[in-house]
A and B are shown apart, each in its own frame.
Chain A
Amino acid sequence: MIRGPLRKAAACGLAGCHTCGRVAPVALGRCPRCDTRLHLRKPASVQRSLALMIAAAALYIPSHLLPVMTVVELGDVSHNTIISGMLQFWSDGAYPMAIVIFTASILIPFLKIVTLCWLCAAATGRVRPSPAMLGKMYWFTELLGRWSMVDIFVLGIVVSLMQLGNYMTITPGPGALAFAAVVVLTMFAAMSFEPRMLWDRLDELATAPDPNTSQPKS
């Protein structure tokens, strides 16, 4: 048993393989089992997730401005954006439906982008929240991630079902593409984010002001 503050694998020069999970000295360069490159931390994770986040944010705007769905009902063409659809449900009195759409399509992607950006900031030490806060935030992004695709799934089903020729046809609009891109990008962003960076930063703050000089000895 090791006493005192737990020594981190990274501090011992050990890295877990990204693919097979084998722990190996990072000095080997490649995993002795599956020959994957070994990294102590995901390389450039903050940059990656930040870049993907910005991309998602960039597409978030058109995804709500452009129609996601074009309904041709008896020749009556209507273009629906996510917001107009939600407002339609709201004005029709289908409040739960409107709330679901608002949460899944508007709020969640937005919150996901915001929280990930905040986490990135925390990982680079720009904000210094409490560890508990960080834990909650990270859990929150994990939780949100699963629900972002609801809209796209619904749209996919509706579009494939509602092909009744002249009577009713639903076609996806450009907004759907943008929205799907937003969801996919946020997922990738979440994937490329390295949560260990958060804890590294925490340790760093707790032990020494300069991470480069603090070299815990075995």
Chain B
Amino acid sequence: MSEEPLPPPAAVTPEFRAAQRWHIVWVVPLVALVLGAWLIYRNFAAQGPVATVRFDTADGIFAGKTEVRCRSVKVGVVRKVKLADDLKSVLTYLEFDSDAEHLLRSGTRFWVVKPRLSVTEFSGAETLITGAYIELDPGAAGGDAQSEFIGLETPSTTSRGVPGRRLVLTAEDAGSLSVGSPIYYRGFEVGRIEGRVLGEEGLKVTFAAFIGEEYSHLVTANTRFWNTSGIDISAGADGLKLRTPSFQAMLSGGVSFGVTVGDEAGKPATDGMTFTLYRDEDSARHSGFNPTLKFLLLFDQTVRGLTDKAPVEFRGIMIGRVADISFDLVPTAGDTRIPVLIAIDPALMRPESARDLTTTDSEFLKAAVGDGLRAALKTGSLITGTLFVDLDYYDDAAPAELGKSGEFTTIPTVSSGLAQLEAKLTAILDKIQALPIDQTMADIAAAAVEAKTTIVESRATLKEIETTAAAARKTLDDPAFRELPTDLRKTLEKLQKSVASIGPDGAVQGDLLRTLDELRASLRSLKAMTTTIEEKPNSLLFGRDSSGNPTPKAPRGGR
């Protein structure tokens, strides 16, 4: 384009005109300022509310790192950890996200989630590597705003948000129940123990129990809870009972509940209702027991084996319990009978009886005593020796009637149980005593005398045998008798020599052989003689050569 003719360069001054007062570029620093301010504000000023939570220890909690989570969603972070002024706890300052302010309300709970290993649970495994965090369980909606909390040392096993029935159980003894112990209904796990605290004055242990929503209808006003922890071995009058819960409950304890047979279920339970936690199923079952009538029994026998709460039965049906055994119950001094106070629940009797038995001195009872109703101690178990009070009609009982001792009505008693046993034993002993033992002893003595005579006689016989034995010994001891074996040996030696002379090498043998040879030769010559005589009888006279027999000659030339 340089070819193009340029216009003559005009004298132009560079425009150093005063810059415009306002240029669009100034928007950039404005935006930057706003952005920077906003970033800082968001990071620092816009932090949400701060709450202080008190924990026993700050184990696993680090300022600036440990998070606060609600259902695993991060809602804040620990800003500072400080030792409390009393040095007995730590204060953690939790800084929440600004949108988490509503979580800080009354009822909100905090606890540290860290690895926990127990029989019932293994939780917080993820925190093994990620470190502990603080879990927040928001309180009920609409609670008052709150900024100071006390952290739980043990985690709540179920979040408050989980629907279900939350109940309070009170027990005299915690047993092996601990947080997380299961709650069973007919052996089926329906809930958990969420917490336990020692009640005021240390008289009771209070458990927080949680029943899942789907099972909450099972809990009603008349529901009874009992401890199913451990192995229950009870030796009762009906034998040895061994009851074991599930393996888990055996180790960690457990709670069962149910409605006692015959009881109405009642209205469904509401949150926060308090129930008694019975020691075992039996006490739960008998917990419906509501004694209204008290009687005093005066026993003229030992009550060893009878304990408080021992059953009071009417022909085997439990109608009450022993309430007290104490001399204090009888105001009159010098009475050696043992007062036993029993409490009877008419509801446990037949309805019509219960109706009649409204007061302790009702006509019904008077009539019954008149008919022979008596109280007696009976042995419940021979093994354990426990006693119970038995009410029964005794036809042969001595006439008696309802009495009065102090403020209590007394029911007449009869000796029974051990006392009866004692009487029977006495009877047996009496019979033994009546046996003709003296006569028998005399007979035995006579027999003994006889035996003695026999023994003397046999002793004489023995003596004789002894004498014989002595004589025999004497003979044996004689020296001549002793040499007998030596003589015998000598004789044997001689005999041996004789035999040797006869043997193959002996002299006799040689003589004998020679004699035999000679004899054989004689016999041969004798045979020859006889043959000669046979052939030529005259040879005896004329000799052999004069025999008339032709002499055989050899054939001539022929051979």
Contacts and interface: CB of A to CB of B under 8 A. Distances in A.
Interface stretch (A51-59, A102-110, A155-163): A51-59
Interface string B9-30: 1111111100110010110111
A200 B16 contact: yes
B29 A22 contact: no
Question: Residue among B19, B31, B36, B43 with the most chain A CB within 10 A?
Answer: B36
B14 A10 contact: yes
B472 interface: no
A74 to B, nearest CB: 5
Contacts of B12: 10-13, 26-27, 40
B9 A13 contact: yes
Given A27-B7, A51-B26, A75-B131, A40 B32 contact: no
B40 interface: yes
A177 interface: yes
Interface residues of A, number: 50
Interface in A164-196: 166, 174-175, 177-178, 181, 185, 192
A111 interface: no
Interface string A129-166: 00000000000000000000000000000000000001
B13 A166 contact: no
A48 to B, nearest CB: 5
Contacts, number: 125
B5 to A, nearest CB: 11
B275 to A, nearest CB: 41
Interface string A193-218: 00000001000000000011001011
Nearest to A13: B12
Interface residues of B, number: 39
Interface in A1-36: 8, 10-14, 22, 24-27, 32-33
B11 A218 contact: yes
Contacts of B28: 51-52, 55, 185
A92 interface: no
Given A12-B12, A22-B1, A51-B26, A75 B32 contact: no
B11 A11 contact: yes
B7 A55 contact: no
Contacts of B126: 75
Nearest to B28: A55
Given A11-B14, A52-B29, A181-B35, A47 B23 contact: yes
Interface in B122-149: 126-127, 129-131
A32 B65 CA distance: 65
Given A52-B29, A65-B43, A177-B39, A41 B129 contact: no
Contacts of B43: 62, 65-67, 174
A62 B40 contact: yes
A7 B176 CA distance: 104
Contacts of A76: 65, 130-131
A97 interface: no
A17 B386 CA distance: 120
A75 B23 CA distance: 49
Contacts of A61: 36, 40
Contacts of B483: none
26 contacts: A10-B12, A12-B12, A13-B11, A25-B9, A25-B10, A40-B14, A41-B15, A47-B23, A51-B25, A51-B28, A52-B29, A54-B32, A61-B36, A62-B37, A74-B129, A74-B130, A75-B130, A76-B131, A174-B39, A174-B43, A177-B39, A200-B14, A200-B16, A211-B13, A211-B16, A215-B13
Question: Can you list the 8 inter-chain pairs with the closest CB atoms, starting with the nearest?
Answer: A75-B130, A13-B12, A55-B32, A55-B29, A54-B29, A10-B14, A12-B9, A51-B25
